[in-house]
Structure 1
């Protein structure tokens, strides 16, 4: 065996060891930076008036990923509208060392929510079999997209939701073509839900509810002053798609909305209703339609009824929100109070 051949094995072994040691140092540097970065994020939020509390913080996951474990996370924003609060048993945030700009978070244990509604403190608890979210962000920490997925959800307390087989939400920033402020695109979906019938005109059981909206431009925050500024510079909310199905009743629609000077929603849209008579009965039960108005609305809808390609009866019904009143085919249904 030549002298060169004798050295090939040790050289390969040393190279592998050196690479392993180098990656170990690299992973630990990333872990230290992640823990310090979390500490900076906490201090930045506190400087903004947001209360952030937590228990032990630990980074694990070597060698394939970084796992930031945060025990007993609690976040409260008393300066924001409704003063929201949130807490959980543990939050675990996953990062891949070779994939920057993407994180996955898992929330473990019951999530406790708090908020103020009309001067009254509200509380609720949400328990999910699985609660995951994905966040994509730039090198400067700006979030460009998020996705959240909760499976087998049970809720108690002051929430309208009671349970759901699945809840999903998605959001992303969409750059304006003229170089102006970006728009915010949001989608929410719930499957096989049970809700408080007192707040649902379509009843307790909702098989599917999905809404896709665009806020253009994106408001700076949900604080009243920021929402007023958004309204004053022509901010609009586009309902790109609405789909609600419960039993034989299905409603789809779209519309464009804004805020009026009294901070109430205003705008107009169109609904397509399958099972229109049941829809009117549900609206009458939830609203303040008189018997005569209910009959008039049924007659108006019957006159507009058509058949789709599958032979189903469908009604295309315009609706509007103006001066604090929701109207369908010019029949007043509900009050539209100020949003904040």
Structure 2
């Protein structure tokens, strides 16, 4: 009889261990939820101290046991001379045992006000932004957006993107260099009777002396450079690829050369015309000249784009004047 009682007690031990583990995990989850709420409150106070207007409604945690999910009701952020953003609900996801990576997402309509660019309503099938600490690169900012559309209230201008994947972080070997990679498909902007569209855009660029990027003149004096490791664009039958390094001249304008390969350049020239980069009266002549140069080269135009003295030239064709990077006085 005593042997049976001893045997029965052993049967309870695994359940007891499981109960302790579950209780410990629940305590960890609740601790993580409290830390996330505290971090949100601290961030709000820091932003208010910096002159940014921030408000929100209730904070609610759920997702147990697999996720730690914090819902923020009615978040609103407004920065002086920059713009404002709000939505009905913003969700922050993290793992209960690792708060070093936060994923921000929303499924509700977003309202964005941009200084000088009007008020926009935006919706997306997939909208996720993440911020993570990284042992090698210090930090990583990433965004994944799919099926996004936006409309400007005052004039009905629209913008859309089929998919957008973005990654921004310091270089592992030199933290003063910021590297940005972007992959976008089916991007389109329609405004003022003009339609600007790209089937695909993929690029990797790195900016040195990133600590000075906010001030173009300081960035130039610090020796800052924009290394375009690769850019590829596709529009209908047209293809464009480029790589090279650009800097700012004494007037704050880009200077340097980009190695390029262009197939069927006319659609890109018309795109630059619609975007206001090339004067309307110069669009057709530039398209014809580059098309002839491409045909003469066997269908693929391989020539550098030279940025100098505020202008850009390729294959002897002046594309445009380039605006100064300096702020207006």
TM-score bracket, normalised by the shorter chain, equals 0.7 to 0.9
Selected match of 2:229 from 227, 240, 243: 240
- Which residue in 1 is equivalent to 2:206? 214
Uncovered stretches (5+) of structure 2, i.e. residues with no partner: none
Q: What's the CA shift for 1:126?
A: 1.8
CA RMSD, aligned part only? 3.2
Q: Is the 8 A contact 1:155 1:163 kept in 2?
A: yes
Secondary structure, aligned partner of 1:109: coil
- Residue number in structure 2 paired with 1:91: 90
1:326 aligns to 2:318 (yes or no): no
Structure 2: distance between partners of 1:250 and 1:76: 40
Structure 1 residues 138, 124: closer, same or farther in 2, change over 3 A?
Answer: same
Deviation at 1:315, TM superposition (A): 0.1
Aligned counterpart in structure 2 of residue 258 of structure 1, from 229, 247, 263: 247
Task: Report the equivalent of 1:187.
Answer: 181
Match of 2:143 among 139, 148, 152: 148
Contact 2:179 2:204 in 1 (8 A): yes
For the 8 Å contact 1:172–1:185, the answer to whether it is kept is yes
Q: Which runs of structure 2 are paired with 1:25-36 in the superposition (5 Å)?
A: 25-36=27-38
Once the two structures are superposed, the pairs formed by residues 155-170 of structure 1 within 5 Å of their partners are 155-157=150-152, 162-170=159-167
Residue in 2 aligned with 1:298? 289
Matches for 1:267-306 after TM superposition, within 5 Å: 267-280=256-269, 287-288=278-279, 294=285, 298=289, 302=293, 305-306=296-297
Change beyond 3 A, Cα 1:266–1:113: farther
Instruction: Indicate yes or no: 2:169 matched with 1:172.
Output: yes
**C-alpha separation between the residues in 2 aligned to 1:204 and 1:283?**
8
2:183–2:202 Cα contact (<8 Å) kept: yes
Q: Please tell me whether the aligned partners of residues 74 and 86 of structure 2 are also in contact (alpha carbons under 8 angstroms).
A: yes
| Structure 2 equivalent of residue 104 of structure 1 | 103
TM-score, structure 1 length as denominator? 0.81
Q: Secondary structure at the match of 1:195?
A: strand
Q: Does the CA contact (< 8 Å) of 2:107 and 2:125 recur in 1?
A: no
Q: Report the CA distance shift for 1:19/1:293 in structure 2 as closer, same or farther (over 3 A).
A: closer
1:88 touches 1:109 (CA, 8 Å); kept in 2? yes
CA contact (8 A) 1:51 1:76 kept: yes
- Post-superposition, which runs of at least 4 consecutive aligned residues in structure 1 deviate over 4 A? 158-161, 197-200, 277-286, 289-293
Aligned-pair distance for 1:263?
3.2
Gaps of 5+ in 1: 308-312
| Distance in 2 separating the partners of 1:304 and 1:322 | 26
SS of 1:108's equivalent? coil
Q: 2: CA distance between counterparts of 1:221 and 1:114? A: 24
SS at match of 1:234: coil
Partners of 1:84 and 1:110 in 2: how far apart? 17
> Aligned equivalents of 2:282 and 2:71: distance in 1?
58
| TM-score, length-scaled by structure 2 | 0.83
Query: For the residues of structure 1 that align with 2:28 and 2:55, how far apart are their CA atoms?
Result: 29
